[in-house]
Structure 1
């Protein structure tokens, strides 16, 4: 096929992580290539020099290696068409997974409005403990789930998770008391753990770094939209209280779990392993993409981030190469070697955990969402204490969720527009600070609609999660690190949820003034963390730039050929901020 007359993307010399892709001649040296890429975006600098191109060639066992072509060209219109098709085929179904996640973990808030705690003879402290158990289980399964998905494939593992947790979710219709409540919260948390980082890794196979942030914002728009739909469904389903002798909240758990079970079975036969493996199942014998489209997808993604071709999509993160001569004749490793394999696997995970350059993002994941998570978990209980009916309590959740969606999309747009992620993300924390100050200051006898409005505005904060998740992915720098760091980041977020589940206490109700003052202190500290993280990444980039620019072109070539530095440890890597 002859190249198009007006190529939009040319050779592999296109800079990874750039918002504009440029073509360079072979006379361009490394210094000229770097000059366009000093604006806080994660990247690895490539050169059109053939000797350096070989250093970035994908591994032969990578699933897209047969579509790799450093000379491939395509038009902007072709690329947009491929991205649009990917959005409909992949991102839309990934959002369906998020619908399942939110329905089965979030409908407990709707159930509270139907006197679930009273029916089960539970206190609000029992509810806090149940949510703590849920988030602990969710947290502890993050990393194991990520390792399983990396070994067998996200396209297989996530649908299996959905199917199993939906069965457990349906069993909540038979809850009898405290023990069964705790057990089901633990099982649902464990089975849902890892889904979000799994999907982040999965989408990174199909999208460039700057595109991923927008797609992740779709995730949390989906979560909020699901909560809106869930509130509407709950307003109707909870009216079934008394039907066949069951409370309304039991019907709620059962009906919504049946939907997620169906969705899980669909996803099992629909999701492809990678952009080059779409044939089969519900996708049809010919698959989704033509050979030309596969070439565009594969090359655009690894030109943006060459490290995405460093591991097969079904290669376990703890795997190591075992020389044939160390195996027994029957192909099995000696026991001592098996022990060594496990040890190296643990060391590999420990290495990912000790990547200190990602810790600023982990700390932000821990502290950024504690305040809204606390208020959100008690929102329906708060409305019921303000004498709103079960029906109106569920409907009154919708206004803040609509505003939340708008602010979510707006924050992501602003971050891309200004090319400033951390400072823009901190806007959400300033928003929380403002309305927490108001909550602490208002008198107890304030009109119930005013209290509702203030709490709703607190919960409608600009959501930084898509920005932080995308930053974590971009700043990981390698598939091995990315697969683990996605889980580690989400573990810190869940740890924040555990903290949030224990701030409001029974003795502090109904206005939780002490709890709100605690939240005020946490949000204030979080704002400081945002600015410290920004300073840290700017300083790290300047430090590396100084070392890199001190090298001659020949020294840089030697470094690329011989370095043992990996991912974001390399001198030619720059952190996004």
Structure 2
């Protein structure tokens, strides 16, 4: 939640977290920005409008806990760049960095809410929709292995479930290892160039799966897919951050992962049709599945070369002569994003991360609690999901009903994903809302682990699996949380990749939860799922406690400084990003 805390030397003063969640005490005019303890938000707003107090005149009013916390508006006055010294400081930062939007930076620029809403709808259609469509392509090619299993692919290739687990481990391990290099390539080349190239290349590998003949070719194609698909998600997140403020991005990421769930639903229906092509042309149905869906991804990949601009201010090109936005709209995007988070202009969009910056970001221990959540939290659902079709076949359902029965949990999943992410940003509370995921999975895991009817009772087992897979999904929340607590472009670039590496590491573990020696009822695997769900809950709550402790320690140090010491700290500190004493972690 947006937090207020009384300063030791003034009982009538409280510190306040800013719009980007980065600081309780924002530096203005060489001093520290703070709010007087007025009773209502309207009194605070009147203070700003009348500018009665010079130390508060430069910050936008944002995220009050007692009003609509998401009703943010940067188009009028009362933003951080109203202070001339602050504006000039950042103007120099943007100029030195070669930031592509620097020529549109204008602290005096104003716009209306209606103009902003109209622009947001255009961004949704132009950028967010295509990002979701590209994620559809990713999910189609990395998820259709599940439908292929339902068509007896393992039997056709003389593979065991352990061989399948090994293939998935190869895919996920290579995917994990390619995350950071791919993200660094995208940062140097620009995501508008690298992402379409990735998609085109992996679609060719996806098509080649139609010709696999045994264990070796299965392992090779799994490894190549992992290598080429790694980093894609982090790159898309970075690209979308050019267009959206920090409060808007998590909800758009929930749309992003919703498109993945819709792909799962759609691909099940598509598989229901394509798998009926078995014996057509001498091919099994799963070969047709890989071939046809690979061709679809290839078309989307080629189209992405023409659909993705380098940035909001670089949308005009020979095949798009009018661009996406007018000059006014480009200026609006740049200034609203920078007023929300001034650090977004400290690098340009084709600037590589140096080895020194990479090292600093990798060693940023304050983000590791979030990485650990990413490692553990998705293992239970990923393990159950990866074996969902196999378990349904074991329960006696045929190929076609198996694919149809995977659809229901995805509808509930979509509703909870969007609702939970919206609630997180609306209340500015991440940890407690994220804890809903393990709280949902724990009872389901307990039933699977200790109920004697697991994988014996057909509809009872199916009901438990559906409930478990329908649950809340905190991936979008965690990605936005990492971004917000990074507080620098280079750290965001690396943290997005590292977080996804931990997530993929968890997927590797998940692909090995159910083992052949535990078949057919997987009692040991289900107990592992239950235990990891409990660990996940404690990790999330522990992360909240850690960030609260870090904020409290910094606040104590910062509040003990005199105003002159704070001015000197601002001028001379070598602390960067989230290591600054005036930075506060979101939790």
TM > 0.5: yes
Partner Cα separation in structure 2 for residue 26 and residue 552 of structure 1: 23
> 1:191-211 CA distances to partner (integer Å, 9 max, x unpaired)?
000001101111111111110
Partner Cα separation in structure 2 for residue 37 and residue 560 of structure 1: 25
> 1:478-504 CA distances to partner (integer Å, 9 max, x unpaired)?
001100110000000000001111110
**Deviation (angstroms), 1:55:** 2.2
**Deviation (angstroms), 1:414:** 2.1
Counterpart position of 1:370? 379
Q: Please state if 1:215 is matched with 2:227.
A: no
Q: Please state if 1:17 is matched with 2:20.
A: yes
TM-score normalised by L of structure 2: 0.87
Deviates more, 1:272-281 or 1:177-186: 272-281
Q: Please state if 1:384 is matched with 2:393.
A: yes
Kept in 1, the 8 Å contact 2:395–2:456? The answer is: no
Q: Please state if 1:308 is matched with 2:344.
A: yes
**Deviation (angstroms), 1:443:** 1.9
Partner Cα separation in structure 2 for residue 77 and residue 38 of structure 1: 22
Q: Aligned pair in 2 of structure 1 residues 73, 532: CA closer, same or farther (>3 Å)?
A: same
Partner Cα separation in structure 1 for residue 305 and residue 52 of structure 2: 46
Q: Please state if 1:160 is matched with 2:197.
A: yes
Counterpart position of 1:489? 499
Kept in 1, the 8 Å contact 2:151–2:399? The answer is: yes
Counterpart position of 2:334? 298
Counterpart position of 2:533? 523
Counterpart position of 2:276? 239
Partner Cα separation in structure 1 for residue 156 and residue 53 of structure 2: 76
Kept in 1, the 8 Å contact 2:82–2:108? The answer is: no
Deviates more, 1:178-187 or 1:80-89: 80-89
Kept in 1, the 8 Å contact 2:383–2:513? The answer is: yes
Counterpart position of 2:94? 59
> 1:490-523 CA distances to partner (integer Å, 9 max, x unpaired)?
0000000011111101121222111010111111
Counterpart position of 1:277? 314
> 1:164-208 CA distances to partner (integer Å, 9 max, x unpaired)?
000000000001000000000000011000001101111111111
Partner Cα separation in structure 2 for residue 552 and residue 52 of structure 1: 20
Deviates more, 1:536-545 or 1:184-193: 536-545
Q: Of residues 408, 420, 423 in structure 1, which corresponds to 2:429? A: 420
Partner Cα separation in structure 2 for residue 296 and residue 552 of structure 1: 38
Partner Cα separation in structure 1 for residue 299 and residue 584 of structure 2: 43
Counterpart position of 1:114? 151
Deviates more, 1:156-165 or 1:513-522: 513-522
Q: Please state if 1:359 is matched with 2:368.
A: yes
Counterpart position of 1:187? 224
**Deviation (angstroms), 1:31:** 10
Unaligned residue ranges in structure 1 (runs of 5+): 1-13, 319-344
Aligned pairs for 1:533-548 within 5 A: 533-548=543-558
**Deviation (angstroms), 1:477:** 0.6
Partner Cα separation in structure 2 for residue 48 and residue 27 of structure 1: 14
- How big is the alpha-carbon RMSD for the aligned residues of Structure 1 and Structure 2? 2.3
Q: Aligned pair in 2 of structure 1 residues 48, 547: CA closer, same or farther (>3 Å)?
A: farther
**Deviation (angstroms), 1:281:** 5.1
Counterpart position of 2:38? none
Q: How many residues align?
A: 534
Unaligned residue ranges in structure 2 (runs of 5+): 1-16, 23-40, 71-78
**Deviation (angstroms), 1:553:** 4.2
- Please state whether the residue corresponding to 1:210 is helix, strand or coil: coil
Counterpart position of 2:173? 136
Counterpart position of 1:148? 185
> 1:77-103 CA distances to partner (integer Å, 9 max, x unpaired)?
111111111111000010011001100
Q: Of residues 509, 518, 522 in structure 1, which corresponds to 2:519? A: 509
Kept in 1, the 8 Å contact 2:59–2:82? The answer is: no
Counterpart position of 1:262? 299
**Deviation (angstroms), 1:552:** 4.1
TM-score normalised by L of structure 1: 0.89
Partner Cα separation in structure 2 for residue 235 and residue 113 of structure 1: 10
Partner Cα separation in structure 2 for residue 47 and residue 94 of structure 1: 31
> 1:192-238 CA distances to partner (integer Å, 9 max, x unpaired)?
00001101111111111110000100111000000000000000000
- Please state whether the residue corresponding to 1:575 is helix, strand or coil: coil
Kept in 2, the 8 Å contact 1:29–1:553? The answer is: no
Q: Please state if 1:431 is matched with 2:440.
A: yes
**Deviation (angstroms), 1:450:** 1.4
